[in-house]
Amino acid sequence: MKTNRTHPRAVVTAKAARSIEEGHPWVYEGEVRRFELPSGDSWDNNGSLKPGAWDSTGSGEAADSAQSADPAQSEQSAQSARRQRPANDFRERRRRKELLNAPQTEDEIIPFEALPDGSIVDVVSLKGSYLGTGLLSRHSRIRVRLVTRNANDDFSPAFWERKVRWAWEYRKTVMGDDAHACRVIFSEADEFPGLIVDRFNDVLVTQTLSAGMERLKPVVFSALIKVFAEDGVSLRGIYERNDVATRSLEGLEQTTGWWSPQSDDDSAGDTVDAAAHTDAADSDLTVTDITENGVRYHVDFANGQKTGFFLDQKYNRRAVARLAQGRRVLDCCTHTGSFALNAALGGAEFVRAVDVSETAIDMARENARLNGPDVAGRMDFTVANIFDLLPELERTRNPEHFDFIILDPPAFTKSRRTIGSAERGYREINYRAMRILPRGGYLATCSCSHFMDHERFKRMIAEAAQDAGVRLRQIEERQQAPDHPIVWGVPETDYLKCFLFQVV
């Protein structure tokens, strides 16, 4: 490691050091023991914005009352509380760890001007060994997100341009001709923590979900424009879809619209060549067309879910199309019709596309028309909740004779706390689908929740099959397309499950 580095240092616990060495890119707030500045100043809190910032349970008031109460009574109350608290109460143990580092007074807080959001911070072990360098988030429970493990890296615009180039070269290699509509940057998988960039022909659509990437937008976005221009791609612009509630966890506001370097007043913007930006601010057109697996789509990147289109299922949809020929297909949670359209183009006899959103069904119907009368003529569209529709089809004994059902619901859980109820939801729809399908029918079932891991998802499917009284012949186990790379050691990048079965 170079000596005399100019970056602040976050000294982390032994547990955090082991996690980083195993490949994980995050340092949580309770894992930071202190911050040290090159000036020699240091703080034993880990950058929270106010005393007791993590104490959401009001333990400060409880502590005050405990101190003023009779000591014997307080000890008795504490013992009673310990007996009542479950031994595996993770949240309580985490809260107590965090409070070890929480500042007690305003004087103990790291001044924002000394260590602002997005600061570049070296992460070191308790013994001073270099572990990596990352970006600080003072509001978030994820205190530092690593961007490199190489102590020789600098963080000039050339560094970020090089990383953008690596990301794009990888997509061109693994996606080939499909790179015209693909994910260009996949957050931690490309060491751009909290940044998503999707390409839809001549438009890049982004989500910026961390304070560090928000600060670096002028540098990174200009690098994107430059790298694409060198490849002969003239971008109409970069459209920001920062209408995401999780931005509040980083102290960021929700915003949408065309990006312009003039709109970023951060100091990082001083390094940007504004002339490199393709000005799209005057354009109201926020719909573009793409072709995927031979299917044409309108993509409304201003109003559609996420960035406007789900690119991660690209090759899973192709696998479904191969099985669909001559079959009667029910596509549940169709969104804008992607699985349904692939099945129809693959030669399905009939496809019914179902979604609870009327807006999504309207877009799916429009996409069907876009692919011509031969495709649209074999499709129908229904606004319905699959938790109502599937039981009704089971009760009425599948009157439309569906022999291929596709289950691609939105994530039923985005946290560990709700994984139990999510698993029950997945089991319910898979059980119903297996009950509806005839012997020899086909099932495609998916989950896009990281917390519903592969083993748990497979166990759920097995239990649903047992309850339904059927056996499953596995055709394929699939994951997300390679433009959403899975990085070993970063389990959050391994999120999409897709199984193809025959019911036997």
Catalytic residue numbers, as ranges: 448
**Length of the chain in residues, anyone?**
504
| Rounded Cα–Cα distance for residues 240 and 261 (Å) | 12
| Rounded Cα–Cα distance for residues 316 and 67 (Å) | 60
In the chain, count of helices (H) and strands (E)? 13, 21
Spatial CA neighbour of 411 closest among 421, 396, 397, 400: 421
Q: What is the dihedral of CA 241, 245, 246, 247, to 10 degrees?
A: 60
| Rounded Cα–Cα distance for residues 245 and 222 (Å) | 26
CB contact set of 123 (below 8 Å; sequence gap of 6+):
9, 10, 12, 20, 27, 130, 131, 132, 133, 134, 144, 146
Spatial CA neighbour of 239 closest among 280, 209, 269: 280
C-beta of residue 301 within 8 angstroms of C-beta of residue 241: yes
In this structure, what token pair is assigned to residue 149?
A: 């493990």
Residue 421 amino acid letter: S
Pairing of strands 328-332, 350-355: parallel
